[in-house]
Amino acid sequence: MKRKLRVARYIKNFRVRLYLIFTGTIALLTAAFVSFYVLTDMRSYRSTLEREGRLLATILAQNARLPLFAENTEALTLLAEGTARYPSVLCVTIANVDGVTVAKARNKNEQANDIIEMKVDITSPGQVLSPESVLLGNAGSDEQRVIGRVRLSLDTSGARERLIHLVAASLAIGTLFWIFVSLLCYQILKRVTFSFNLLMGGIEEIGSGKLSARVDLDGDDELGRAANAINAMAASLELRELENLALQEELLKSMRLEVQEEKKLVMARLIQTNKMTSLGLLLSSMAHEINNPNASIRFSGHMIGKMWGDAVPLLDGVMQEEGDFFLGGVPYEKARAAMADNAAKIVENSERIARVVHGLRDYGVGGGAHLRQKLEINSAVSAALSVLACQIRRDVQLTTSLGTGIPVLNGSQQQLEQVLINLILNAMQSFADGRGGVHLSTRYDSSSCEVIVEVQDNGVGIKPETMERLFEPFYSTKLERGGSGLGLYISQYIVAEHGGRLQLTSAPGKGTVARVVLPATPPSVGGVIPAKDVEHPADPLHQVR
């Protein structure tokens, strides 16, 4: 594996690649030249052999002309043997015009595989005429008369030996040449790629992150200029790196501070949320603890009223018979009415306690949140105000202007009450000195078929930068005063769930208007709420000072 990686690394090396390409090309060229040389030489050798054979056969044909004409077999045999002494000649045959062999001579006994057959006709010169023709002045013709044939068998086994020697010699020379040129190429490439490797080393060092490294390459050629450019780039990067480090450090510092601040805020929110949860649980528990005795009180009130009703005729009869008498230090005449009133008040106040407790429990536990029902917006407003009755301080003037002809809505009254409570509480907490006025109004916009509830205060208003974050969860400007940062967030969610929208418009120093716009069915379809303008003084029993 390591070896493979090492080989792969070497192959990817530019110098090694160039060297391989050069040596490969030289090897191919050398092989091509050697092959070409061997082929050419062998062809030339064969051609020379054939030419030599043809020459020998021609000479033999010339020399054998007269002996063949004279049928001098001995002379022909001598000529054939003389020709057969040549190393390349395997067999010599001289035949007459009829094809009958007149003389034959062999040089070697062994049979050669590759033989070149050479045939040359023995001709008498055409320009030689008969004496009669010559005396008549006839010129000789070029026509040659064939009188026999010389056939030479040439042994080409020498060519094979020559081929082997030639290939061996060519390969040896070619290999030496290749080695020499390869070494030369290596030296040249080493010199040529030295600067390149230096440049690459510098680039790799810089690329690995060591920006202080520089390419130590002098010269005014392309590589030198590239090295200068890379050095300049590295210096620039180094400077930027230092700047970045400084900035990063500053950022980290500021982030640490911000995180600490944020942490504080989050912790405050968590505490507030925890408080709210605890409050919810407390409210539920209180409601349970109050409801039981309250039910007993109400029952007792009812029983007292009932029993008083039964006792009054008897007591009236006693008074008629015996005259007026005192009950609990009060004359019967006054006690008779006061007792009935007190019993009724016991029941009424007990019921009121039950309603308040029920409201508190629903707010804390969220009971009935998912109920969708036909509701009247003015009822929701009244319920919210009844919940907040104890929160309304004497310095805050709360006025309502409830519209008429408002169609009933389809939704959860408890959820809308929660929205209104949040908005009214926000309005009441918007006064710098705790004094101000909150005006709550409802109306129906028949053109858009929407019910609009507005909570308007003349408090300090909201800063623009705060406006952008009002609906973020856990964002509050009153965390230190018990704010959770969830009121507007939840309110917007509830209003959106009802298909409406919650809008806040504020002018710093002038006050804020919180507007809840809810879709409604037309009045002809649903019911209509009668208008009523009321001022809600602070509850003397629950007034907060």
Partner 1 sequence: MQFLKILVVTLLLLLPLPAFAYDVLVLQSMHEKGYDEAVNGFKRECRASMRRLVLTDYAEADITRITREEHPKLIVAVGDRALELARKQRSTPVLYMMALNPRPRTGVTGVGMLLDPSRYLFVFDALGTGKVGVIYDPARSGAYLKRAQSAASRNRIDLVLREVRSAKETPAMLQSLRGKVDAIWMLPDTTAVSPASTEAYFLFSQGERVPVVTFADIYLSMGGAVALTIDRHDIGRQLGEMALEVLDGTDVDDLPAGFPRRVVTRTNDGVVRQLDLAGRL
For partner 1, the binding residues (CB under 8 A) are 65-67, 69-72, 124-125, 127-132, 134-140, 145, 147
Shortest spacing between CB 89 and partner 1, in angstroms: 24
Q: Are the C-beta atoms of 471 and 490 separated by less than 8 Å?
A: no
The token pair that represents 327 in the structure block = 């009950």
Nearer to partner 1, 69 or 326 (CB): 69
The token pair that represents 535 in the structure block = 């001022």
Shortest spacing between CB 151 and partner 1, in angstroms: 21
Those residues with Cβ within 8 angstroms of residue 186's Cβ, 6 or more apart along the chain or in another chain: 19
Beta bridge partners of 348: none
Q: Are the C-beta atoms of 485 and 446 separated by less than 8 Å?
A: no
Q: Are the C-beta atoms of 504 and 459 separated by less than 8 Å?
A: no
3-state secondary structure of 105: strand
Shortest spacing between CB 125 and partner 1, in angstroms: 7
Nearer to partner 1, 87 or 131 (CB): 131
Beta bridge partners of 511: 507
Q: Are the C-beta atoms of 537 and 385 separated by less than 8 Å?
A: no
Nearer to partner 1, 140 or 331 (CB): 140
Q: Of all helices (H) and strands (E), which one includes residue 183?
A: helix 157-207
Nearer to partner 1, 39 or 70 (CB): 70
Half-sphere exposure (Cβ direction) of 47: Cα atoms closer than 13 Å: 6
Give how far Cα 263 sits from Cα of 273, 289, 390, Å. 15, 38, 34
Shortest spacing between CB 93 and partner 1, in angstroms: 21
Give how far Cα 417 sits from Cα of 116, 346, 384, 425, 531, Å. 124, 28, 5, 12, 19
Shortest spacing between CB 121 and partner 1, in angstroms: 14
Shortest spacing between CB 65 and partner 1, in angstroms: 7
Q: Which of 270, 425, 285 is nearest to 364 (CA)?
A: 285
Nearer to partner 1, 144 or 254 (CB): 144
Nearer to partner 1, 139 or 314 (CB): 139
Shortest spacing between CB 50 and partner 1, in angstroms: 27
Nearer to partner 1, 61 or 347 (CB): 61
Q: Quote the strand ranges of 423-464, DSSP E.
A: 436-445, 450-457
Beta bridge partners of 411: 373
Nearer to partner 1, 129 or 513 (CB): 129
The token pair that represents 543 in the structure block = 């007034």
Shortest spacing between CB 181 and partner 1, in angstroms: 59
Shortest spacing between CB 163 and partner 1, in angstroms: 42
Shortest spacing between CB 152 and partner 1, in angstroms: 22
Q: Are the C-beta atoms of 118 and 152 separated by less than 8 Å?
A: yes
Beta bridge partners of 534: 400
Query: In degrees, to the nearest 5, what angle opens at C-alpha 524 toward C-alphas 518 and 530?
Result: 70
Nearer to partner 1, 72 or 466 (CB): 72
Shortest spacing between CB 98 and partner 1, in angstroms: 15
Nearer to partner 1, 21 or 97 (CB): 97
Shortest spacing between CB 63 and partner 1, in angstroms: 10
CA–CA separation, 64 vs 67, rounded Å? 5
In degrees and rounded to multiples of 5, residue 393 shows phi and psi of: -85, 165
Shortest spacing between CB 118 and partner 1, in angstroms: 23
Nearer to partner 1, 129 or 534 (CB): 129
CB < 8 Å & 24+ apart, contacts of 324-330: none
Nearer to partner 1, 125 or 367 (CB): 125
Burial status of residue 423 (CB atoms within 10 A of its CB: 0-12, 13-18, 19 or more): buried
Nearer to partner 1, 138 or 236 (CB): 138
Q: Quote the strand ranges of 263-350, DSSP E.
A: 326-327, 330-331
Q: Which of 353, 437, 431, 344 is nearest to 390 (CA)?
A: 353
Those residues with Cβ within 8 angstroms of residue 152's Cβ, 6 or more apart along the chain or in another chain: 53, 56, 57, 60, 83, 89, 91, 92, 93, 117, 118, 119, 120
Between strands 330-331 and 326-327, the pairing is antiparallel
* 138 secondary structure, DSSP code: P
